Amino acid sequence: MEQHNRTNVGQVDANDPNTLEATFAAGCFWGVEHFFAVVPGVMTTEVGYTGGRTENPTYQQVCTGRTGHAEAVHLRYDPNHIRYESLVRLFFKMHDPTTLNRQGPDVGTQYRSVIFVHSDAQKRIALDVVRELTERRAFKRPIVTQIVPAATFWRAEEYHQQYFKKNPGRSCHISFCPAMLNTSAPSSEK
């Protein structure tokens, strides 16, 4: 199921009118990128930093928690193959959106759960999904995911790009299995 070749940054023109962009933060960006990279319809992925105050931050700066940035994944997708709503639903399946500033062993504001929206339509969709998940009590605790306008995305250092492809066998807070790619609503926590 290795499909990373089709997700290389630069493979799709950023101005391609046939693709749209999305940005998500769900903990350590290595696993989030790895997850989205295998989703059919996702054309490119890149990891970086966004949502903070520091211009052109380094990984070391972001790790201090003083930049305001989150580790995030920016992707381009083909809306003829996958809907934004499906990407949002996958986002909620891949991590715990009820923990504040933490995913797995990683703790700090840089690991917060955020959907960075690029349009009013994306904001409406994200809010609708959160409302639905809340109403049907899909999680035992309240969702703390932030939904905020997309800001400047600062591409992370090259060694972070497609990290799990370059470093197989490393552990991650995201437990990936192909069944997760089903884009129906997340089931209730057990």
Start-to-end C-alpha separation, the chain = 28
Q: What is the pLDDT of residues 90-100, one digit of tens each?
A: 999 988 999 99
Domains and CATH numbers, the chain: 4-168 (3.30.1060.10)
Distance of CA 100 to the CA centre of its chain: 16
Q: Which residues contact 170 (CB under 8 A, 6 or more apart)?
A: 30, 163, 164
Q: What pTM was computed for the model?
A: 0.84
- pLDDT tens for residues 118-168? 999 999 999 999 999 999 999 999 999 999 999 999 999 888 888 777 777
Angle at 149 between CA 16 and CA 113, to 5 degrees: 105
Mean pLDDT confidence for 106-123 = 94
Asked if residue 189 has pLDDT above 80, the reply is no
3-state secondary structure of 32: helix
By annotation, the residues acting in catalysis are 28
